Amino acid sequence: MSALHNFFFSIYPYICLAVFLMGSLARFDRDQYTWKSDSSQLLRKGSLRWGSNLFHIGILFLFFGHFAGLLTPHSVYEHFISAPDKQLMAVYSGGAAGFICFIGLSLLLHRRLFDPRIRLTSHRTDLAILIILWVQLSIGLATLPLSLHHSDGGVMMALGEWAQRLVTFRPGGAELLVGLDWTYKIHLVLGMTIFLLFPFSRLVHVWSGFGSLAYLIRPYQIVRARRMNVPQGQNQPRRPDASV
């Protein structure tokens, strides 16, 4: 195992995770007015409806699919589904979601590059994030035929074990990825880099997207009308120094 391989698969993940968590916290604390998805709907609606919706449907499926697929231990799902079948399910469902996401992302990228008003009001990171996501998605889609080639589920098991060792601070994960095709390796490194760039881009809105689910369980807001059925003067707040 080379030193570079060791760096990218056992040290870099922790750098990215630390910057992702601490950076998001610092940005939220210091710069709340820049914490937004920076909608460009006012500048041009066309292609946003299809682009944004297809992209978000696809990316959210891929996000949860990667999360559950990589971090669920084999011992939990082996009672329901075998490793080769799980891999097949991941390839087909991930392929469909990836295709939907790819169409949406290409529409978003096209409008951001070629609409002069959107181009002019875009920050460098807006463009960079879209391009990185597009490249990452394309490489992810390019791994699908490779995964179908190793239909025993071995690659998927190795990737899952690597991710689980990382989050449980167990060593030896990087060794499992030594013989892997470079397409997977680039997909992993670029994927981690997205977490690294997350706090410095509009991607911070993803936290708020998930955070908004808290509205489902938050207590009702109690709103008291000023117009109350009490004699005039009695609904005024009492001054602290007022005599009783």
Footprint on this chain of ligand HEM (rule: CB under 6 A): 37, 39-41, 48, 52, 56, 59-60, 63, 108, 112, 129-130, 133, 203, 205-206, 209-210
Least distance in Å: CB of 11 to ligand HEM?
23
**How far is the C-alpha of 146 from the C-alpha of 91, rounded, in Å?**
10
Beta carbon nearer to ligand HEM, 130 or 188:
130
Dihedral angle, C-alpha 8, 70, 142, 11, nearest 10 °? 0
Beta carbon nearer to ligand HEM, 47 or 151:
47
Beta carbon nearer to ligand HEM, 57 or 176:
57
Write the burial class of residue 45 (CB in 10 Å: 0-12 exposed, 13-18 middle, 19+ buried): exposed
163 Cβ partners below 8 Å, 6+ apart? Answer: 70, 71, 173
Beta carbon nearer to ligand HEM, 47 or 183:
47
Instruction: Please choose, from the candidates 137, 45, 147, the residue with its C-alpha nearest in 3D space to the C-alpha of residue 97.
Output: 137
Least distance in Å: CB of 110 to ligand HEM?
10
Beta carbon nearer to ligand HEM, 118 or 157:
118
Contact, 197 vs 132, CB < 8 A? yes
Least distance in Å: CB of 160 to ligand HEM?
21
**How far is the C-alpha of 151 from the C-alpha of 200, rounded, in Å?**
39
Least distance in Å: CB of 129 to ligand HEM?
5
Contact, 76 vs 40, CB < 8 A? no
Beta carbon nearer to ligand HEM, 130 or 163:
130
**How far is the C-alpha of 61 from the C-alpha of 67, rounded, in Å?**
10
Least distance in Å: CB of 123 to ligand HEM?
11
17 Cβ partners below 8 Å, 6+ apart? Answer: 195
**How far is the C-alpha of 204 from the C-alpha of 27, rounded, in Å?**
9
Least distance in Å: CB of 121 to ligand HEM?
11
